[in-house]
Structure 1
Amino acid sequence: MATISIEYSNPLATQKDLAWGVESINRTSPECDQVASSLLEEMAAATGLPSFVWIPCRRYWKSETSLPTWLTLSPAMVDRFLYANGSTLVDLGPSIRFLGFPVTLPTGEVAILGSVAREGAANAPAEWILAATDAGWSQAELTQFVDSLLCIPRPTLDRLCALAGRHFSSMRTVDRLDDELQQLTSQIEYTFEEISLLHSLTQRLQLSRSPLELANHCLARLHSLIPASGNAIWMQVDHDRHHFSVEGHLPLDEFQLARLTSRFEEHDWSRPLVKNNLAKTLLGADFPGLQNFILVPIGEAPFRRGWIVSCNLSDDKEYGSVEASLLGSIGTILGTHLRNIELYREHQSLVISFVRSLVQTLDAKDPYTRGHSERVALIARRLGQELRLPADDLEDIYMSSMLHDIGKIGVDDRILRKPDQLTPEEFRAIQQHPMIGYRILKQLKNLQHILPGVRSHHEAFNGKGYPDCLKGEEIPLMARIIAVADSYDAMCSDRPYRKGMPLERLEEIFRRGSGLQWDPNVIDAYFAAREDISEICRAYSPTGTDLLAELPIETMARRFL
């Protein structure tokens, strides 16, 4: 059974609203009939008596049974129900009883909901006689109608009146609780969506994620939480690049947004700026079409990197603390992400400077091999590409190759620069450089992932290499790739004691050493990429572009953090 949210009316508040004799244009609207029918069902179920609804300001009458339309309540009777302020019995003549009470309809109008009964034998009251006569009823019809009313003793009617009152009071409580439940459900749904957005945002805070990707993700989700005409994010991506993303219709372009933010330079930006009702203000005149807005910064001064703005909330609603809190959280998260990227870039610069310094130190000790490490890095990365390794692995290979000979810093300069054949003892000293390099770099947390290539690039596929005599796939793939690149550059490059080897001779050595000295798969990769590798070495210049410094920040971030 349908229920209607009703409230007992305050007689002092509603009395002045009753416009007697003034008929409403909408007196018989379908909505009115629907509400009245629902009330009648509830009243009939509660009392078991013929029931009616009377809306005085509409002059609207509806009955659940065949109660005549002339039975409408007079203003005096309505007053008695109103001032009773609850369920009550109103006597009409010596035997006719009206049971009822006022209710406030969802439209805000006051209605009287009631039932009619008699107590013992009854004659028609004088006002009924007049009303029935005006309606064309005969005396017999009126007598028959009065006799058809249920005869109920007064004590029973009193108890029925009290029960009906409690029933509708309970119904009102249930409706109120249902409304509160619906509001709570809406709040929970909104909170869930808000938490979901913030969670999805924090899940995307890896340094490899572009700030623009995060900004667009926020805008795509914001409309379901803040149904505004338009939402926008303006961000300073780096020193010379910014981005302006808009979702929906924004009554501000990029220049106007800058003007708007400049108007509030003195605002305390630890709190979002909320402005409502701008239609008849100076600010609204300066920015036509702007009805209300929220403006929050991305990041805190002095590291502020942009703005989030939401304009013109739908349905003429006003922005409040809920929307301000959500946008403030998003601004903080985006600001933190941008600041983390800036800090990482500074950290990246330090790491690159450190690696460059190590390589330059090695070049200073052994000038005859200057550029060897970077050529090996370029060749090894090309071999990794041929082996279909992912980008992350390629950059690991590149970095490890750059530092693969760093252990030579710990080898006597006279041995490194000796133009003649090395003695067995001197060769054993040279063989220590992988372990020396490993011990130097293993103290650096950010370079742990490149250590296998540094330590094992002189291992042989047949197990006769050094320092650990690893065999086959026991040797890390990174090291097997660097071993081929290192051998290629060493054999091709000129040394004080010999000229570089012809390419045909080098490739013959590779073929004979495949499966013995070197991994056959890596040797196959070399022959597949031999023209590219030859061009890399031909075009290389020690004074050329610092390729290490040009590694993408997304890749570097994945590698060093």
Structure 2
Amino acid sequence: MISDGYDCQLALVEELSGVLGGEYDIWERPSPLLACPLRVQTFGPQGARLIDAFESELESLLRDASDDDAACFALEDQEHSALIAAVDRDRSAVWVIDREVAPMVEAYVQAVLARQRLEDQSMGLREENTALVEQVTNDFEEISFLGRLAKLLRLTETSHQLPEFIGEALTSLRPIIAARTLVYLDLEGDEPRVTARADMGDELRWDNETLELLAARHAERASAGAFVSNDKALHVSPDGETITCYVQVAVANESDSYGYLMAINRADDAASRACGPLLRLSENEYGTWETSLLETVGSVVAAHRSNLDLVSEKEDLLVGVVRSLVSAIEAKDSYTRGHSDRVARYAQRIAQQMGYDQPALDKIYLTGLLHDVGKIGVGDAVLSKPSKLTDEEYDEIKLHPDFGWNILHGLEQLRHVLPGVLHHHERHDGAGYPDGLREDETPLDARILAVADAYDAMTSSRSYRAGMTDERAVDILKEGRGTQWDPEVVNAMLEAHDDILAIKQGYCPAERITRTAPALAPTCQTS
């Protein structure tokens, strides 16, 4: 019978022999290339008589038993029959039994052989199923991880969030590839620096400096393709643990290199977490599957980093255009120079105190820069008047939030600034303009800008009056809580007052640049 091992089949022969109550011989079929007679591996008392009586038929019958996986009874004389059962492709067991019981014995042997065939098939199916389950499990975990990675990408809008994104990705990936430690190293200049890592447990077995040196040592090889080491000690930690399993892949695209991902040693539960046998080197090594998954993550991080860089460049361009608009406003009124920038900084600090995240802080800073852009539509005579405004002139000034909304509402990238630009002169009690909104009807951005704008207006000098002291401005804000200004915003400003005052005292407007030569290049059309 064909089986996974000779010992398994020999055990079956022993079982049959116990039932048959007789000795047996193991016959071995020689290689077709060898011109020699049948060899008897285990010679019993019937061996010589069988060879003498049935030598001409024995080889073909042994071959039939092995090829057909069946018992044979063709060898017989007046008293005895020879029962032949295959052990494997080249070996058969031979019993000599009483001829009278041969049919009954044949039926029993066939049943035993059939049982063995089913057990062998079942074992093979179990092994195939186990391998399939392991592979499907790993495929599912990989797909689930890549899904989580895609979700994290959607939530990561700015470069400020990139370290957090990478840290969460490493934390999710580490148990999937059964790594003891996963590390991301960012290239600062030419030197890799650890910016995110995920370790099994709380103990850091290797310090960042060691990992940075290790990454630098293998940087050239990793940049050419994944560097995998499973067979030698790369480093020994202070507690004696050796780095023996190591993968380093580059985080790069065709034009830029951003850093490296490193996987160090396998976790204690690697044997139970390892991938299927077709891809696995062993539970103590990194193989094709783990390395490919790390390379995929490296490619995703590199692509996302490149996209964030492009977004940052576009944002820088946008801020530059905004500053040009602000400069146009301030050119009409020298006394308000720096006002928009200071209001933007105050608003950003107040918003931070109120829990804004970094992307929102960037947006409210931009809103602060643009909050008075509508003053471009106000007449110069009114805007620069050195004395108190008349009611008609004040009504014209009150149009600047609507002018600002009209200037900006067509710019899709600046839609988030519109609530602050339009409503930063609303009052908490509803007596403000342009729409008379009250309390929470006014967007929070606008309520924050209202406090920041009022503080800067009170503490700045104008042609017709000197600026108030910080103490006096703070007292007015306190007095106006709940009537002119949102109490929560005023309280947040007071909590951040030290920083607000530092911004005021340390503020220095950018110097105006005087042109010294014609602007001849570059031009719109290149040669």
Q: Which of 340-349 and 202-211 deviates more?
A: 202-211
Indicate if the aligned counterparts of 1:211 and 1:337 stay in contact, CA closer than 8 A.
no
1:437 to 404, 408, 411: 404
1:241-320 alignment runs, 5 A limit: 242-243=192-193, 253-260=214-221, 297-306=250-259
1:135-154 alignment runs, 5 A limit: 151-152=101-102, 154=103
CA distance in 2, matches of 1:316, 1:437: 65
Larger radius of gyration: 1
- Say if 1:535 and 1:72 are closer, same or farther in 2 by CA, change over 3 A: farther
Q: Which of 463-472 and 95-104 deviates more?
A: 95-104
1:481 positional shift: 2.3
- Say if 1:457 and 1:311 are closer, same or farther in 2 by CA, change over 3 A: closer
Structure 1 residue aligned with 2:166: 214
Indicate if the aligned counterparts of 1:55 and 1:110 stay in contact, CA closer than 8 A.
no
- Percentage of pairs with the same residue: 31
Q: Which of 457-466 and 477-486 deviates more?
A: 477-486
Structure 2 residue aligned with 1:147: none
Structure 1 residue aligned with 2:129: 181
Structure 1 residue aligned with 2:151: 203
Structure 1 residue aligned with 2:521: none
User: Matched residue pairs, number?
Assistant: 448
2:301 to 331, 334, 337: 334
1:482 positional shift: 1.7
1:417 positional shift: 1.4
**2:338 paired with 1:357:** no
SS in structure 2 opposite 1:495? Answer: coil
1:311 positional shift: 9.7
Which segments of 5 or more consecutive residues in structure 2 lack a partner in the other structure? Answer: 29-41, 52-57, 200-204, 233-241, 266-279, 512-527
CA distance in 2, matches of 1:160, 1:511: 103
- TM-score between the two structures when normalised by the length of structure 2: 0.68
- Say if 1:476 and 1:441 are closer, same or farther in 2 by CA, change over 3 A: same
Indicate if the aligned counterparts of 1:39 and 1:113 stay in contact, CA closer than 8 A.
yes
- Say if 1:395 and 1:314 are closer, same or farther in 2 by CA, change over 3 A: same
1:369-408 alignment runs, 5 A limit: 369-387=336-354, 393-408=360-375
Structure 1 residue aligned with 2:441: 474
CA distance in 2, matches of 1:513, 1:231: 54
Q: Which of 322-331 and 216-225 deviates more?
A: 216-225
1:180 positional shift: 1.7
Residue identity matched to 2:252 = G
CA distance in 1, matches of 2:129, 2:166: 35
1:30-179 alignment runs, 5 A limit: 74=47, 81=62, 84-85=65-66, 86-90=69-73, 91=75, 94-104=78-88, 112=92, 118-120=98-100, 151-152=101-102, 154=103, 156-179=104-127
1:182 positional shift: 1.9
- Say if 1:52 and 1:326 are closer, same or farther in 2 by CA, change over 3 A: farther
SS in structure 2 opposite 1:298? Answer: strand
Residue identity matched to 1:192 = F
- TM-score between the two structures when normalised by the length of structure 1: 0.64
Give me the CA root mean square deviation.
4.8
**2:2 paired with 1:7:** yes
Q: Which of 501-510 and 488-497 deviates more?
A: 501-510
CA distance in 2, matches of 1:477, 1:501: 26
C-alpha distance after superposition, 1:33-89 (max 9, x if no partner): x88667766x69xx97569997789xxxxxxxxxxx996885978965455312122
Indicate if the aligned counterparts of 2:363 and 2:416 stay in contact, CA closer than 8 A.
yes
Structure 2 residue aligned with 1:550: none
Q: Which of 240-249 and 167-176 deviates more?
A: 240-249
SS in structure 1 opposite 2:218? Answer: helix
Q: Which of 315-324 and 343-352 deviates more?
A: 315-324
Structure 1 residue aligned with 2:509: 542
1:469 positional shift: 0.7
Which segments of 5 or more consecutive residues in structure 1 lack a partner in the other structure? Answer: 1-5, 19-31, 58-68, 121-150, 265-271, 280-288, 545-561
**2:513 paired with 1:533:** no
SS in structure 2 opposite 1:242? Answer: strand
CA distance in 2, matches of 1:161, 1:354: 93
CA distance in 2, matches of 1:452, 1:491: 23
SS in structure 2 opposite 1:253? Answer: helix
- Say if 1:356 and 1:293 are closer, same or farther in 2 by CA, change over 3 A: same
Residue identity matched to 2:72 = L
Indicate if the aligned counterparts of 2:25 and 2:43 stay in contact, CA closer than 8 A.
no
Structure 2 residue aligned with 1:130: none
1:473 positional shift: 2.2
